[in-house]
Amino acid sequence: MSFEFLAPDAAATGPNGSRPLAHSQIEWAHLDAGANMREHHGWNVVADYGDPAREADACRSAVGVADASFLGKIELESDRDAVARIVAELAGGAVLELGRAVRHEETWWCPITVERVLAVTQPDRTASVREALEEAASPGFASVTELTAAHGSNLVAGPLARECFARATALDMRPKAFPESGFAPVSVARTPGMILRSEGDRFLHLFGAGYAQYNWTVFVDSAEHLRGRAVGIDAIAASHGDASGVAAGA
C-alpha cells in the first residue's frame, strides 16, 4: 500500500503550479494567542507572538515552547538487518543504537526499536529523504510511511527545559542520563510520545497529532510557571542560530 497521499507535498498544485501551504494542527490556537504567521518551506508557521525579543530572551534565560509541526517525520520499518543496512546507506555509515539518535546532513535518525526508525527532517528535505528511503527499501520487505501529518512536534528550549518536562514525564533527563543525541520513546503527559535531545538545552517532543492541543497547553502552562512562554521560530533562530529548529538542533 502506498502512503504517499499522507505527505504534505502531495497536495494538488494550482493553475500557477504552486501548492497550498501546509498548516499546524493547532494553528487556530496560535492565531488566538496573537501569533504572526509566515511561510517557511511550504508551511505556514508561527514567526512570533508579537514580541520576538522577549521570546528569544525566554529561550536564553528560562524556557520557550515552539510549534515545530513543520518538521518532516518518516518511519522506516523492516527486519533488524534491513533497517541497519538502509540507515547506514543513507546516514553516512551510521550504526544506530537504542537510546541514541544520529544526525546526518540535517536529518535525525531516531531508533524507536531495532526494527523501526523515525527520520526527522527539515521541511525542505522531507520529500528527498522520503524518496531516498523508498528507493533504498524497494528491493526488500521494508515499509516507508510518511508521518509528518500524523505526528505533531514541539521544540522546548532553554535552561529550564528539563524542569518543563519534569512535570510531565518520569524520564531521567539529567545531562549524564540523557546526553546530547539522546532519544527515548516515552510517556509524556500521560500520552505516548518521543523525546530527542539535540544539543545543549534543546529538546524535540513528538506525539500523535490528535494530542497536539493538549500537549501544547500542558507545556506552555508549565513554561509560564517557569517564567517562560510560547515562542515562534524567530526566537529559536535568535537564541540558537537556526530558524528551522532541526539543522543545529531538534
Closest CA to 110 of 9, 204, 220: 204
Instruction: Report the DSSP beta bridge partners of residue 46.
Output: 37
Gap between the terminal Cα atoms of the chain: 30
- Indicate if the pLDDT at residue 142 is higher than 60: yes
Task: Look at the chain and count its residues.
Answer: 250
pLDDT tens digits, one per residue of 149-174: 999 999 999 999 999 999 899 999 99
- Indicate if the pLDDT at residue 246 is higher than 70: no
> Where are the CATH 3.30.70.1400 domain residues in the chain?
72-146
Q: How confident is the model at residue 87 (pLDDT cuts 50, 70, 90)?
A: very high
Tell me 246's DSSP state: S
pLDDT of residue 15: 61
> Which position has the grid cell 525542505?
124
pLDDT of residue 140: 79
pLDDT of residue 54: 97
- Indicate if the pLDDT at residue 240 is higher than 60: yes
Q: What is the pTM of this model?
A: 0.91
Query: Could you give the percent of the chain with pLDDT greater than 70?
Result: 88
- Indicate if the pLDDT at residue 73 is higher than 90: yes
- Indicate if the pLDDT at residue 143 is higher than 50: yes
- Indicate if the pLDDT at residue 2 is higher than 90: no
> Where are the CATH 3.30.1360.120 domain residues in the chain?
23-69+150-240
Cβ–Cβ < 8 Å for 74, 80: no
Instruction: Give the type of residue at 128.
Output: S
pLDDT tens digits, one per residue of 6-63: 566 655 555 665 678 999 999 999 999 999 999 999 999 999 999 999 999 999 999 9
Topology given in CATH for the domain delimited by 72-146 = Alpha-Beta Plaits (3.30.70)
pLDDT of residue 243: 46
Give the cell for residue 116.
Answer: 523501526
Query: 23-69+150-240 in CATH: which number?
Result: 3.30.1360.120
